[in-house]
Amino acid sequence: MNRRGFLTGAGIAGAGLAVGGAAGAGITYALTADDSLDTADQSVPFYGPHQAGIITRQQNSLVFAAFDLKDTVTVDTLEVMLARWAAAASLLVEGKPVGPVESRPQSPPADTGEAFDLGPNLLTVTVGFGPTLFDDRLGLQSKMPSALKPLGQLAVDTTIDPTISGGDICIQACSEDPQVAFHAVRNLARIGRNVVTLRWLQEGFGRASATTTSQVTPRNLLGFKDGTANIKAEEPAVADEWVWVGDETDQAWMTGGSYLVTRKIRMHIEAWDSDDISDQERIFGRIKDSGAPLSGGEEFTDLDFAVKDSSGQTKIDRFSHVRLAHPDSNGGAQILRRGYNYTDGIDTRTGTLAAGLFFMAYQKNAHDQFARIQNNLAQDALNEYISPISSSLWAVPPGLKEIGDWYGKTMLGYRG
């Protein structure tokens, strides 16, 4: 039954604790080579060892929301909200409303309605916890994973705005339809309105990475293919090594989870647009049109940092983005990138475009992976054209096992 089915009267109970979509139900989302398929009726399975929305084939739209706890919250009220979120998310990802619409004429409808006719559109809902959730307000200090220690101020972090950074809880909603992603976040925020308040929200209008080998590599707003060298869903052993938290964790509740770094990176687009193409390619170390390395070959040819031009210079500049971000320059460290292009319109002080990359990266340990790479990128030639303006770290718990499971159930110690 889709959202319209609910409207015509055959609905089930609201988004209470006991409500959930059938495990594994919905049309299974097959990996296909065709990016142009109509995805409106396709859904991503909700239950599994890992939350969907991480290595899931990257969808085209993002709505990311960060929340703070209200002062009155207790562990119990938080847990009820997380259980209601799980129940609601299991319905949303199948294209269903979060509750009946017309059962109580004197009450607002349980679902806000803007996605009634749209279908699941490969919606994924991914929930994470920020470091501040584990401060002394709820007494959860002993549940804090050491890997969730804040990253602190990194070398390039001179322009971070704290009002659009951090938060106690986050929701990442990704979908092929932007309105489906917005609807998910809006309705979950509504369900949680007595427990959390929105701290900041970011929309992404186009994917700037690829998470499967079957996807075409998209382009970021600097016009370059982005996501060529990324961890892909077809490499489960690589994901086990670099993305999923394993036995090394000091908090067993995070096993099967992952750590997410979100960074809003403003691009100085007008300056970039007046830079020579040869300099743009030097900065990335790749050819703009094809995405091929400057050392030669096609898009997916390995980078070769030893190849020199006739003047004896390496063809891939030593300060190029790909050289400094490459595993060979970072003790082998890899990350799963899942960023989105964004725009906030214009910067009214300067009349320039306020746009860039909402960078997202998943990994086993952000201190050893993201921060290591980012610190190495302190020398990046690209830095002249970008400024990070928000930075956050999230612990994303493992997937929900079955109906009746919810985000953080093990962490919060629910005994039923």
Per-residue buried b or exposed e for 304-343, using 16+ beta carbons within 10 Å of the residue's own CB: ebeeeeeeeebbbbeebbbbbbbeebbeebbbbbbbbbbb
Q: Smallest gap, in angstroms, from Cβ of residue 263 to ligand HEM?
A: 6
Q: For ligand HEM, which residue of 111, 168, 226, 317 counts as binding (CB under 6 A)? A: 226
Q: For ligand HEM, which residue of 220, 249, 320, 363 counts as binding (CB under 6 A)? A: 220
Q: Smallest gap, in angstroms, from Cβ of residue 321 to ligand HEM?
A: 5
**Spatial CB neighbours of 195, under 8 Å, sequence gap ≥ 6:** 69, 70, 73, 77, 78, 80, 81
CA distances from 360 to 86, 172, 343, 391 (A): 22, 10, 16, 10
Any contact of residue 282 with ligand HEM (CB under 6 A)? no
Contact window for ligand HEM (CB under 6 A) among 22-30, 64-72, 173-181, 217-225: 217-225
Q: Three-class SS of residue 386?
A: strand
Compare residues 286 and 364 and give the one whose CB is closer to ligand HEM: 286
> What are the φ/ψ torsions at residue 366 (nearest 5 degrees)?
-70, -25
Any contact of residue 204 with ligand HEM (CB under 6 A)? no
* Distance of alpha carbon 253 from alpha carbon 371, whole angstroms: 23
Q: Smallest gap, in angstroms, from Cβ of residue 41 to ligand HEM?
A: 31
Written as one string, the DSSP assignment of 344-373 is: EEEETTTTEEEEEEEEEEEES-TTTTHHHH
Which of 168, 171, 161 shows the shortest CA–CA distance to 64?
A: 171
Q: For ligand HEM, which residue of 19, 88, 89, 377 counts as binding (CB under 6 A)? A: 377
Contact window for ligand HEM (CB under 6 A) among 142-150, 245-253, 372-380, 392-400: 372-380
Q: For ligand HEM, which residue of 66, 265, 389, 395 counts as binding (CB under 6 A)? A: 265
Q: Smallest gap, in angstroms, from Cβ of residue 322 to ligand HEM?
A: 4
Element (DSSP H or E) covering residue 237: helix 236-242
Q: Smallest gap, in angstroms, from Cβ of residue 61 to ligand HEM?
A: 19
Compare residues 38 and 328 and give the one whose CB is closer to ligand HEM: 328
Q: Tokens for 92?
A: 């949303």
Residue carrying the six token digits 């007595």: 194
Q: How many Å from the N-terminal Cα to the C-terminal Cα in the chain?
A: 30
Any contact of residue 225 with ligand HEM (CB under 6 A)? yes
User: What angle, rounded to 10 degrees, do the helices at 178-191 and 75-92 form?
Assistant: 150
Compare residues 286 and 409 and give the one whose CB is closer to ligand HEM: 286
Compare residues 59 and 334 and give the one whose CB is closer to ligand HEM: 334
Any contact of residue 370 with ligand HEM (CB under 6 A)? yes
Q: Smallest gap, in angstroms, from Cβ of residue 408 to ligand HEM?
A: 27
Q: Smallest gap, in angstroms, from Cβ of residue 376 to ligand HEM?
A: 8
Amino acid at 86: A
Compare residues 35 and 41 and give the one whose CB is closer to ligand HEM: 35
Compare residues 90 and 390 and give the one whose CB is closer to ligand HEM: 390
Compare residues 160 and 325 and give the one whose CB is closer to ligand HEM: 325
Paired strand residues for 200: 66
Any contact of residue 224 with ligand HEM (CB under 6 A)? yes
Letters for 312-341 (x = contact with ligand HEM by CB under 6 A, - = none) are: ---------xx--xxx-------x------
* Distance of alpha carbon 275 from alpha carbon 293, whole angstroms: 19
Which of 315, 406, 318, 415 shows the shortest CA–CA distance to 81?
A: 406
Element (DSSP H or E) covering residue 177: none
Any contact of residue 62 with ligand HEM (CB under 6 A)? no
Any contact of residue 284 with ligand HEM (CB under 6 A)? yes
Q: For ligand HEM, which residue of 125, 386, 393, 412 counts as binding (CB under 6 A)? A: 386
Widest CA span in the chain: 79
Which of 259, 263, 385, 281 shows the shortest CA–CA distance to 333?
A: 259
Q: For ligand HEM, which residue of 147, 303, 336, 360 counts as binding (CB under 6 A)? A: 303
Total residues in contact with ligand HEM, by rule CB under 6 A: 29
Q: Which residues bind ligand HEM (CB under 6 A)?
A: 220, 222, 224-230, 263, 265, 267, 284, 286, 303, 321-322, 325-327, 335, 356-357, 359, 370, 373-374, 377, 386
